[in-house]
Structure 1
Amino acid sequence: MKEMTLQVNLEQGLHARPASAFAKKADTFSSDIFIVKDGRKANGKSILGLMGLAVTQGAQITLQANGIDEELAISELSKMLLSKHEMHI
């Protein structure tokens, strides 16, 4: 398993639109993807799970990936969270 702790830079946090884009991108990887915030863990491939974490700009989260493409998943998905503006797929 690979993980990275980072501060979310998205201006509006991980609300509906960026959560949807993140989940779609996460779904392109065979690895299991999770985001952990304040001790709560959500499936990174679930829009509702991601929105339930209420990730705001500046929030400290841990991005986890477990599987054959975990390194690529962490690299690509962290770019989405570290960007100030929403990234579209």
Structure 2
Amino acid sequence: MIQFQVTVMVEGGLHARPAALLVNRAAQSQSKITLNKGDKQADGRSILGIMTLGVSQGDSLTVRVEGSDEEHVAEVIQQMFSHSL
């Protein structure tokens, strides 16, 4: 399992478009991806789950990746957030 923090820099937070990009990437992996904001948790493959986290620009998320391709998936997700999705 790999766990790391990311800061959401995209204007408007994780609204429909950036959430969809993340879900599409998660769907291509074999790993389970979980996003946590405070005490809320969402499956990285659920656009509705991600959007209900209420993530705004500047918010910090904990991302957990677990599975056979976790290292690659974690790297891709970190790059997505560093490039504002």
TM interval, short-chain normalised: over 0.9
> Kindly tell me: are residues 12 and 83 of structure 1, through their superposed partners in 2, closer, same or farther at Cα, counting changes over 3 Å?
farther
Displacement of 1:12 in angstroms is 1.9
For each residue in 1:18-74, what CA deviation from the matched residue of structure 2 results, as whole angstroms up to 9, or x when unmatched? 101110011111000010001211000100000000111110111110001111111
Displacement of 1:80 in angstroms is 1.6
Give the conservation status (yes or no) of the 8 Å contact 1:10–1:82: no
TM-score, normalization: structure 2? 0.93
Write out the 4+ residue segments of structure 1 that deviate beyond 3 Å after TM superposition: none
TM-score, normalization: structure 1? 0.89
Does residue 27 in structure 1 map to residue 27 in structure 2?
Answer: yes
- The separation in 2 between residues aligned to 1:29 and 1:11, in whole angstroms, is 26
Tell me what 2:78 maps to. Answer: 78
Displacement of 1:8 in angstroms is 1.1
Identity rate of aligned residues, in percent? Answer: 36
| 3-state DSSP of counterpart to 2:48 | helix
Tell me what 2:5 maps to. Answer: 5
Q: Counterpart of 2:23 in structure 1: which amino acid?
A: A
Aligned residues: 85
Unmatched runs of 5 consecutive residues or more in structure 1: none
Unmatched runs of 5 consecutive residues or more in structure 2: none
